[in-house]
Amino acid sequence: MELRAARDSDVNNWEEVILIYSSALKQISTKIEILNEEFQHVHRYNPIEHIKARIKTSESIVKKLRKHGYESTIQNMVQYVNDIAGIRVICSFTSDIYQIAEMIRNQRDIKVISIKDYIVNPKTSGYKSYHMLVTVPVYLSDRIVDTKVEIQIRTVAMDFWASLEHKINYKFEGNAPAYIKNELIECAKMVSELDRRMLSLNEEIQMINQQNE
């Protein structure tokens, strides 16, 4: 599978695409790491457990374009595929998710394109996560390219569940048996309850610490 340029004026090759999107990922990753370090300095607490960054493979991009009826061109890729560059931010508690999202939103050179809150409104599969589609300027020698990056923010428990669901869907090519889908939904409910209880426990600990200060 190959991506081809639709016109000479397009981004001409995959190497240039990788350069631009990789640069956008580096910028977003660095910003998030700095925010986490600042939060640690001010509040003595790290809201972020770890960060995962990735560039979508050319095979996955072509598959997604074909699924939605688009030709496999670099122009279509840049225009219609929003998750070429993706960052996953894993945190401890659900309350951290919205704090992190707000900190990202307040960065002046980051423009938020769209928000999908699958925590308030989970998918029918049980999937929960907070998605932000943003653009960040990538400064090249001859131009500035506003580049899309998808940011997914979720708890450790949500990430564990999503990873398992992804593996199951990959194995069954999206057509898992009904009983497995139902079991995944039940597991998602357990994950939500675990997140709720862990958040409540953390709040209790913070209250005790404040009383002892």
pLDDT digits (tens, 9 = 90+) for 142-184: 889 999 999 999 999 999 999 999 999 888 877 889 999 999 9
On the CB side of 58, CA atoms within 13 Å amount to 12
Pairing relation of β-strands 48-55 and 130-139? unpaired
- Strand, helix or coil for residue 1: coil
Query: Rounded to the nearest 10 degrees, what angle do helices 14-43 and 94-105 cross at?
Result: 110
Domain spans of the chain, in order of start: 14-156
Q: Which residues are catalytic?
A: 150
CA angle 66/51/2 to nearest 5° reads 25
Q: What topology does CATH give the domain 14-156? A: Beta Polymerase; domain 2 (3.30.460)
Q: What is the pLDDT of residues 40-94, one digit of tens each?
A: 888 788 899 999 999 999 888 998 999 899 998 888 998 999 999 999 999 999 9
pLDDT tens string 132-146: 999 999 998 888 999
Measured in whole angstroms, the distance separating CA 56 from the mean position of its chain's CA atoms is 12
Q: Is the pLDDT of residue 206 over 90?
A: no
Q: What predicted TM-score, i.e. pTM, was given to this entire model? A: 0.89
